[in-house]
C-alpha cells in the first residue's frame, strides 16, 4: 500500500553557500490540504479579474474541472504517494544538489 511522502531532503553545497533542508512533508501536506479550500476561491478570483488572455483562463478552468473531480483528486493523491523513493543528484564543479523524498 502506498504511503504519502514523510520527508523531503534538499541539500545544496556550493562554494559560497551550504543549504541542508529537511522538509517535514508529514506536517506540510496536511497544512496545505487545510489551506487549499481557503486559498482556492482567492485564486479563482484572481484568475477571473486578471487581464490574462481569454484562452489562458479557459485552459485554467478546463484543467481545473477534471482535477477537482473525485477521479482527479484520487489521481493527484496517487501521484503524491508515489514520490517516496525519488532521488536526484547533480554534481558539477560549482555546486552539488541532492534532493530525496522519503
Partner 1 sequence: MSESQKKILEMLGNKKISVDEAYRLLNALKDDTGGSESAPEATTRRPKARYLRVCVAPAQGHEHDADAELVNVRVPLSLIRSGIKFSSLLPPEARDKVSDTLHDKGIDLDMRNLKPEELEEIVEALADLQIDVVSDKEVVKVFIE
Q: State the nearest-atom distance from the C-beta of 42 to partner 1, in Å.
A: 23
Question: Strands 18-24 and 95-101, how do they pair?
Answer: unpaired
Q: Which is nearer to partner 1, 2 or 38 (CB)?
A: 2
Q: Which is nearer to partner 1, 14 or 66 (CB)?
A: 66
Q: Which is nearer to partner 1, 46 or 71 (CB)?
A: 71
Q: State the nearest-atom distance from the C-beta of 36 to partner 1, in Å.
A: 17
Q: Which is nearer to partner 1, 48 or 77 (CB)?
A: 77
From 57, 55, 36, 54, select the one nearest 46 (Cα to Cα). Answer: 57
Three-state SS for 21?
strand
Q: Are 47 and 59 in contact (CB under 8 A)?
A: no
Q: State the nearest-atom distance from the C-beta of 34 to partner 1, in Å.
A: 23
Q: State the nearest-atom distance from the C-beta of 56 to partner 1, in Å.
A: 11
d(CA 80, CA 36): 16
The residues with which 98 forms a beta bridge, in sequence order, are: 11, 89
Amino acid at each position: 500500500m502506498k504511503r504519502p511522502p514523510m520527508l523531503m531532503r534538499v541539500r545544496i553545497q556550493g562554494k559560497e553557500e551550504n543549504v541542508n533542508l529537511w522538509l517535514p512533508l508529514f506536517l506540510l501536506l496536511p497544512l496545505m490540504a487545510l489551506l487549499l479550500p481557503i486559498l482556492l476561491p482567492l485564486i479563482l478570483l484572481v484568475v477571473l479579474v486578471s487581464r490574462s488572455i481569454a484562452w489562458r483562463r479557459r485552459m485554467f478552468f478546463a484543467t481545473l474541472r477534471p482535477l477537482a473531480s473525485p477521479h482527479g483528486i484520487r489521481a493527484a493523491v496517487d501521484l503524491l504517494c508515489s514520490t517516496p523513493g525519488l532521488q536526484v543528484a547533480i554534481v558539477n564543479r560549482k555546486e552539488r544538489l541532492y534532493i530525496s523524498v522519503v
